[in-house]
Amino acid sequence: SDLQKQEERGELLQPLIFVLLVLCSILLYFKVSLMDPGFVKPEEEEGEDKGQGVVIPQLPGDIKLRRCGYCLVKQPMRAKHCQQCQHCVRRYDHHCPWLENCVGERNHPLFIVYLSVQLVVLLWGGHVAWSGLYFEQSQEWLQHNIFLLVSFLLILIFTIVVLLLLVSHLYLISCNTTTWEFMSHHRISYLRHSELENPFDQGIILNLWRFFC
């Protein structure tokens, strides 16, 4: 049959890989959106001060951990209260409206993996849509190709958005900073009173290693 011939020629391998990537992207989306991003729990308060000086020795000693004015837990360094989630989140990066969840200490690496897989899917889909287009200046051509053309333009827009998100996050990770710290540097006490612009930066390689590993 034609299906067997296509399988023998390896023509079914690419569509299969594409479908698996799409399924992987969907599973990653639900995993990142449903998992605990690193909520601070009241029972974890004991021992919060331990190890802070080892991890970030550049910080002044007079900076003390404070209690959150909303949920009343003692906030670890780099944590922030999220108004949407109604929790303090460890190593808070941002609240993602597309995920309806915070991106924090626990799900940030998976969020990067999700963006990477999504980018591959979009680039592949854009390539398929572009390869199906052949341009002619006629009304009939536009009527037959309008759906494919609109699909390609939408894929292009989403590809640019995801690419910019991924690049910006990888840059911040390589500097060992978060979106919240980058945008609100002047409002955060442990950064405002630090002698260094970024007291958490330990070099690109070590920053990436500690984040992903």
**Catalytic residue numbers?**
96
Residue 74's DSSP bridge partners are 67
SS3 106: coil
Distance, in Å, from the CA atom of 198 to the CA atom of 65, rounded to the nearest integer, reads 18
Residue 96's DSSP bridge partners are 101
| C-alpha dihedral, 166 to 167 to 168 to 174, nearest 10° | 110
Beta strand spans in the chain (E)? 80-82, 87-89, 94-96, 101-103
Do the beta carbons of residue 92 and residue 78 sit within 8 Å? yes
Do the beta carbons of residue 50 and residue 61 sit within 8 Å? no
Backbone angles phi, psi at 96, to 5 degrees: -90, 115
Decide: residue 186, CB within 10 A, 0-12 exposed, 13-18 middle, 19+ buried: exposed
